[in-house]
With several copies, the nearest count.
Chain A
Amino acid sequence: MVTKEQIVRWLERLASVLAENKAYLTDLDSAIGDADHGTNMARGFAKVAEKLVSVADTDIGNILKATGMTLMSSVGGASGPLYGTFFMRGGAVTASREELSVEDLGEMLHAGMQGIQQRGRAIAEDKTMIDAWIPALAAYDTARIAGEDTAAALRRAVAGAEAGMKATIPLQARKGRASYLGERSIGHQDPGATSTYLMLKALLDTLESS
């Protein structure tokens, strides 16, 4: 079970995690992109943290939608509309909810990931954030079906995201800015896959610390 308060604390924690990892993400992006992924994400989630003040009292669906809208209008770049869509779609399937079961959370994550895929059209091994989402949700689903609880399922998801993130290193990018590097994109970890991992990790840490 994930409560509304935990969702809020997750997003707050994520804002600090991304602020801390700003340079790290930007460095990853400077190797195969334009050196702004850290700045983009930190800027966007700082805005989300501000926004949370006024929406924390509403429901989970609303909080996630507000998060998505805020990311949409403050991140820019490729990642802005992708993560924006993730949260807006996630919000749409959690309308008026005060808490999420392990199934609900899975539904929310799947809806979000589907949004990212529809918007960005990336498939597995394009070397994008999708390469973190796919194994993460596969692991989550397996755990959920096996009857594990939310925290346990999320622990699997985080491990899956981390593996997927690392597996982007040997890939050649076929989507986004990195694709123009061709073979020169090989050998670098995808920044978006990394922020996806940080996102799931922050949710897990929130659940575990409460």
Chain B
Amino acid sequence: MKKLINAVENVVREQLEGMASAHADVLKVSYEPTFIYRADAPVANKVALISGGGSGHEPMHGGFVGKGMLDAACPGEVFTSPTPDQMYAAGSAVNSGAGVLYIVKNYTGDVLNFEAAAEMLAGEGVPVQSILIDDDAAVKDSLYTAGRRGVGATVITEKITGAAAEAGYDLLQCADLCRKVNTSSRSIGVALTSCIVPAAGKPTFDLGDGEFEFGIGIHGEPGRRRLPMASVDEITEMMASAILDDGVYTRTVREWDQARGEWVDKELVNAPLRSGDGVIAFVNSMGGTPVSELYAMYRKLSGLLDARGIRIARNLIGPYITSLEMQGASITLVKVDDEILKFWDAPVLTPGLRWGV
């Protein structure tokens, strides 16, 4: 393992210190418990957006803290979900009174920890909503699994909901929009190499020179299947089909009912993409794949979407939700409407995503 780190125990802490000193105008970092928050938080009358998860996916989530996106992010150890005390403390710190929206990637660890935090925060009288992101089309069902994992759509929902919060959406409106973006999203990822978790010191999995893993999550967890290495056109075609040929996806998720002060089940449905739809096409590097290769993937993807009558309304291409230095890529397609596009185009000023300011 060769990495630009000091002792493995201090990796996350030191990286956060670097981030805090690099972006002091945009964000601050609290330690014990650890969370990253907007330098100007709490922002009066604005719903506070908080996300979090294991470290190692940078710029997500800490790099998306700032104007027009997240109010706080809670980083766990590398690839380990953060704990409720972080999420609770972050919620207390950035809540302006307009309430807190937790954006939670659907990994059991993240979900359970955020649930505990939501209960704690709601117990203090803070208005809380919690929305699950579960866009990974590699997972077929939610009956025999913990449901689809939260992957690329996380970046898109954080951007769009962040802009809506900035524009004055209230807590329930923010939650509704966040849920809508999630149920309009599907993703699929591939890995060409494994990454190395610093504390482990060796590759998470072994991938032969001639194979790639199709349908990974964001930690290099096993995907749908391992396949012989193929061309970018072939891989992109497989990825696009996994998204475009995916049927209706229905599942039950748990959301916090503010009025009743308890968790309630909610049925969510993702409709398939259809000819005539417009999408945000997000082509993401898992970290080690250079942006040049993403362009080759985008080239093929745009041809395939064109052939299906699907219009790319916006795109985002680069390393935004990564797995350390893993080589690989993911594609996320988000069906858009005017509301989504408006908030996508709105200004954002974070270390990881910036435009309009």
B109 at the interface (CB under 8 A from A): yes
Assuming the contacts A77-B80, A81-B115, A184-B222, asked whether A175 and B108 have C-beta atoms less than 8 A apart, the reply is yes
How close is A163's CB to chain B, nearest CB, in angstroms?
A: 24
- Smallest CB gap from B116: residue in A: A81
Q: Which residues of chain A are within 8 angstroms of B116 by Cβ–Cβ distance?
A: 72, 81, 84-85, 119
In the complex, which of the residues A40, A76, A174 contacts B144, with contact meaning CB atoms closer than 8 Å?
A174
A124 at the interface (CB under 8 A from B): no
In the complex, which of the residues A72, A74, A76, A174 contacts B109, with contact meaning CB atoms closer than 8 Å?
A76
Which among A34, A40, A175, A180 has the greatest number of chain B C-beta atoms within 10 A? A180
A35 at the interface (CB under 8 A from B): yes
Tell me the bound Cα distance from A172 to B144 in angstroms: 9
- Smallest CB gap from B32: residue in A: A73
Whether the Cβ atoms of B200 and A35 lie closer than 8 Å is yes
- A1-44 at interface with B (beta carbon < 8 Å): 34-36, 39-40
- A160-210 at interface with B (beta carbon < 8 Å): 172, 174-177, 179-182, 184
Whether the Cβ atoms of B222 and A81 lie closer than 8 Å is no
Q: Which residues of chain A are within 8 angstroms of B81 by Cβ–Cβ distance?
A: 76-78, 80
How close is B217's CB to chain A, nearest CB, in angstroms?
A: 7
Q: Which residues of chain B are within 8 angstroms of A172 by Cβ–Cβ distance?
A: 144
Tell me the bound Cα distance from A10 to B33 in angstroms: 28
Whether the Cβ atoms of B79 and A179 lie closer than 8 Å is no
A75 at the interface (CB under 8 A from B): yes
Q: Which residues of chain A are within 8 angstroms of B108 by Cβ–Cβ distance?
A: 78, 120, 175-177
Q: Which residues of chain A are within 8 angstroms of B83 by Cβ–Cβ distance?
A: 72-76, 80
A82 at the interface (CB under 8 A from B): yes
- Smallest CB gap from B83: residue in A: A73
Tell me the bound Cα distance from A99 to B127 in angstroms: 39
- Smallest CB gap from A35: residue in B: B200
In the complex, which of the residues A78, A81, A174 contacts B145, with contact meaning CB atoms closer than 8 Å?
A174
How close is A99's CB to chain B, nearest CB, in angstroms?
A: 29
Assuming the contacts A35-B204, A119-B115, asked whether A180 and B149 have C-beta atoms less than 8 A apart, the reply is yes
Whether the Cβ atoms of B139 and A180 lie closer than 8 Å is yes
Q: Which A residues lie at the B interface, using CB under 8 A? A: 34-36, 39-40, 72-78, 80-82, 84-85, 119-120, 172, 174-177, 179-182, 184
Q: Which B residues lie at the A interface, using CB under 8 A? A: 33, 76-77, 79-86, 107-109, 112-113, 115-116, 139, 143-146, 149, 199-200, 204, 217, 219, 221-222
